[in-house]
Amino acid sequence: MMLRLGDVAPNFKAKTSEGEIDFYEYLGDSWGVLFSHPADYTPVCTTELGRTAALNDEFVKRNVKVMALSVDSVESHKGWISDINETQGVEVNFPIIADEDKSISEAYGMLHPNASTTFTVRSLFIIAPDKTVKLIISYPASTGRNFQEILRVIDSLQLTAYHSVATPADWKDGEDVVVAPAIKTEDIPAKFPKGFKEIKPYLRTTPQPNK
């Protein structure tokens, strides 16, 4: 099975480095980031989990809960966490799932046979409070994830979920946004009182409405 944008993220129960969890209960009303790693004690992933821990305050500020996954055991995860904390100067403060039977990996389409028949690819899912999948990214083993991009996407998803706007290329929180095409130009002033610029009839921009 390969998940698609808009699909409901499968729920699961799992053993993790922080005890047994139910995924939906763990998320509650929060947004979620679920990301997988090929194996414990791998160099790129060590830096990624360290970076995730270092950005804890940024995730909390956005009401996002984070969970990692690999096919190794809880015991292996705990040993790896010690290495991550030591080498990255952090305290890993989120659960790492032990998906030893690969059931979660299969449900989320994290196993790509052309990459590996035994290890998960490095996939990342952003999941909304309604448990729908809003973003899917898969990275090769040699390229570390850009966590500033992940935070940027979360900002965009949260903004566009509650306002009739989209975010343009390279947008960052606080910059102008694009008015949704469904909004008629004559209706923009009432909906977006900060003003707008009409570049083309189909391309209208306005200051970020929640700032």
Cα–Cα nearest to 121, from 16, 39, 65: 39
Answer whether residue 114 shows pLDDT above 80: no
Locate the domains of the chain by residue range: 13-145, 163-206
DSSP 10-36: PP-EEEETTEEEEHHHHHTTSEEEEEE
Cα separation, 72 vs 10, in Å, equals 20
What integer pLDDT is reported at residue 83 of this predicted model?
97
- Pick from 20-24, 90-94, 112-116, 190-194: least confident: 112-116
pLDDT band at 1 (very low <50, low <70, confident <90, very high): low
pLDDT band at 109 (very low <50, low <70, confident <90, very high): confident
Cα–Cα nearest to 82, from 115, 37, 110, 41: 41
- Is residue 151 within 8 A of residue 62, CB to CB? The reply is yes
Considering the chain, what percentage of its residues have pLDDT values greater than 90?
82
pTM: 0.91
45 among known catalytic residues: yes
Cα separation, 33 vs 84, in Å, equals 19
Answer whether residue 115 shows pLDDT above 60: no
pLDDT band at 49 (very low <50, low <70, confident <90, very high): very high
Q: Which fold has domain 163-206?
A: Antioxidant, Horf6; Chain A, domain 2 (3.30.1020)
Mean pLDDT of the chain: 92
Q: What DSSP character marks residue 186?
A: G
Cα separation, 46 vs 56, in Å, equals 16
Q: Which residues contact 205 (CB under 8 A, 6 or more apart)?
A: 168, 176, 177, 178, 179, 196, 197, 199
pLDDT band at 120 (very low <50, low <70, confident <90, very high): low
Q: Which CATH number fits domain 13-145: 3.40.50.11740, 1.10.238.10, 3.40.30.10, 2.120.10.30?
A: 3.40.30.10
Cα–Cα nearest to 70, from 52, 45, 53: 45
pLDDT band at 2 (very low <50, low <70, confident <90, very high): confident
Task: Please identify which of the residues 45, 81, 92, 165 carries the catalytic annotation.
Answer: 45
What integer pLDDT is reported at residue 205 of this predicted model?
97
Tell me the average pLDDT across 194-211: 95
Are 13-145 and 163-206 equal in CATH topology?
no
Cα–Cα nearest to 202, from 173, 182, 172: 182
Cα–Cα nearest to 110, from 118, 126, 121: 121
